[in-house]
Amino acid sequence: MSRGTVVAKRYAKALFSAAQQKGLVAETETQLQLIVDVLQINPEFRAFLVAPNITLETKKQTLFQAFGAEASPLVLNTISLLIERGREGELASVLAAYLQVAGEALGRADAHVASPAPLSDEEQAKLADKFGALLGKKVRVTNSVNPELLGGLTVRIGDTLYDGSLKGKLERLDKTLQSAVI
């Protein structure tokens, strides 16, 4: 496990603990996701936060001005702490670790489903029910479109990949045939 991952988990656990005490677990997740999304789509803001020639106070003031209305002091203070310690680049890792910590504590899992076409809400609900029964957890499904799959779908929950795609089946069949010929 890399040092950055360990650090991200430490921050995520502390943030989750504080959010849980205040009853703000879901809100904290939403706010953290919002800030990570903004940083991903706005490279100028991301560059601003990591720029060594800009003072910590200026970075923190800008952060509070930009997100003060959307994010709680709990989230903003955590990000300020990351900035103070030169770990602003770890924010996406902190979000991922927070999702994992919150999911474990709340009996929830996130399923990332790739399909050749968008899934309907009904199909996503069926997948959530099916994998929820398999894992004994409440499953949240996020869908992304991958036209390379041809048919079927892949489901990633944590470190486990369930490959029910046509592409995956064809690759497995190819490997089986090649090993049988040799």
* pLDDT tens by residue, 129-148: 999 998 888 998 989 999 88
**Element at 139 (helix H, strand E):** strand 138-145
Q: Look at residue 3 in the predicted model and tell me its pLDDT.
A: 61
Where on the phi/psi map is residue 158: left (φ > 0), alpha (ψ -120 to 50), or beta? left
SS3 79: helix
Per-residue pLDDT band for 114 (boundaries 50, 70, 90) equals very high
pTM of the model: 0.70
Q: Look at residue 182 in the predicted model and tell me its pLDDT.
A: 63
Task: Provide the angle, in degrees to the nearest 10, between the axes of the packed helices 73-84 and 25-41.
Answer: 50
Per-residue pLDDT band for 166 (boundaries 50, 70, 90) equals confident
Mean pLDDT in residue range 57-86: 89
Q: Look at residue 13 in the predicted model and tell me its pLDDT.
A: 92
Per-residue pLDDT band for 69 (boundaries 50, 70, 90) equals confident
Mean pLDDT in residue range 79-87: 89
Report the helix count and the strand count for the chain, using DSSP H and E: 8, 4
Mean pLDDT in residue range 69-81: 90
Query: How, if at all, do strands 154-157 and 138-145 pair?
Result: unpaired
Q: Look at residue 4 in the predicted model and tell me its pLDDT.
A: 61
Dist. CA 46–CA 49, nearest whole Å: 5
Pair of tokens at residue 86: 């030169």
Per-residue pLDDT band for 172 (boundaries 50, 70, 90) equals confident
Has residue 26 got a pLDDT over 90?
no
Has residue 52 got a pLDDT over 90?
no
Mean pLDDT in residue range 118-133: 93
Dist. CA 167–CA 149, nearest whole Å: 5
Task: Provide the angle, in degrees to the nearest 10, between the axes of the packed helices 25-41 and 91-106.
Answer: 150
Dist. CA 109–CA 121, nearest whole Å: 18
- Residues paired with 144 in a beta bridge: 114
Does CATH place domain 3-103 in 1.10.520.20? Answer: yes
Domain ranges of the chain: 3-103, 108-168
Q: How far is CA 134 from the centre of its chain?
A: 22
Has residue 54 got a pLDDT over 60?
yes
Pair of tokens at residue 26: 């879901």
Asked if residue 22 lies in contact with residue 16, where contact means CB atoms within 8 angstroms, the answer is no
Mean pLDDT in residue range 89-95: 88
Mean pLDDT across the chain: 88
